[in-house]
Amino acid sequence: MFNRIVFIFVLLATSLLGCAATNQTQQVTTSPADSFWQQLSLHCGMQYQGVMVSNDAVDADFAKATMLARFERCSADEIRVPFWVGNDKSRTWVFTREGDTIEFRHEHRHSDGSFDEVTGYGGFGEATGVDGQLNFPADAQTKAVFNATGLTVSLVNVWTVESSAEQFVYQLARPNRFFRVEFDSNSGTPLPSE
């Protein structure tokens, strides 16, 4: 009888240890870059109308215009989002992923397709502690662009991008400047087929 009790005890203990080991191996941590990229990728093939929630006077024309974020081109390492403001289709947000690094750039083009002199600015993602959100402080490339074009007030820009199943948010902040547009994913529409 004693041997049977010992056998059952050993069998039970082994089973419990096996369950504990299984639970430990199933705990997978997701890096901020992974989380952000997964959330951003949810929007591929969609377009959303934006609402300006900031109220800086300098943005009055933006607030009156129809703003669209169009998740047109998505690959494993790049997501391109044209940002249309009224009839102005000159802006594209470009997200590039390399390992655990997310790079965010603003691409500005003239109507003939040539680059504007103020283009290619942005930075590299920094975790904020919020799932699906990264801050992109102005990097050296950005500071060179802004210095060369006389936009020195923008040297301390920080862009914040939030992405979830419910919304996509673009924000710019610096001292005495705040710009924020929110796009509701629930009211999005698929991009037309080409």
| SS3 state of residue 6 | helix
Mean pLDDT of 63-91: 97
Q: What is the pLDDT of residues 125-171, one digit of tens each?
A: 999 999 999 999 999 999 999 999 999 999 999 999 999 999 999 99
Residue 24 placed within a domain: no
Is residue 1 over pLDDT 80?
A: no
Residue 16 placed within a domain: no
Determine the structural domain holding residue 50 and report its residue range. 32-190
Integer Cα distance of 110 and 65 in angstroms:
19
Rounded to an integer, what is the distance from CA 58 to the centroid of its chain? 25
Provide the pLDDT for residue 3: 47
Number of domains in the chain: 1
Provide the pLDDT for residue 30: 86
Residue 193: pLDDT band with limits 50, 70, 90 = confident
Asked whether the CA dihedral 48, 54, 55, 57 is positive or negative, the reply is negative
- Lowest-pLDDT range of 3-17, 22-36, 142-156: 3-17
Mean pLDDT of 39-63: 95
Q: What is the pLDDT of residues 100-113, one digit of tens each?
A: 999 999 999 999 99
Provide the pLDDT for residue 29: 75
Q: Which among 75, 74, 111 is positioned nearest to 91, based on CA atoms?
A: 111
Q: Provide the 10 A C-beta neighbour count for residue 138.
A: 19
Is residue 70 over pLDDT 80?
A: yes
Residue 116 placed within a domain: yes
139 Cβ neighbours under 8 A, 6+ residues apart: 122, 123, 124
pTM of the predicted protein model: 0.84
Provide the pLDDT for residue 17: 46
Mean pLDDT of 44-53: 96
Average pLDDT of the chain to the nearest whole number:
89
Provide the pLDDT for residue 194: 63
Is residue 9 over pLDDT 50?
A: no
Residue 17 placed within a domain: no
Residue 97 placed within a domain: yes
CATH code assigned at 119: 2.40.128.20
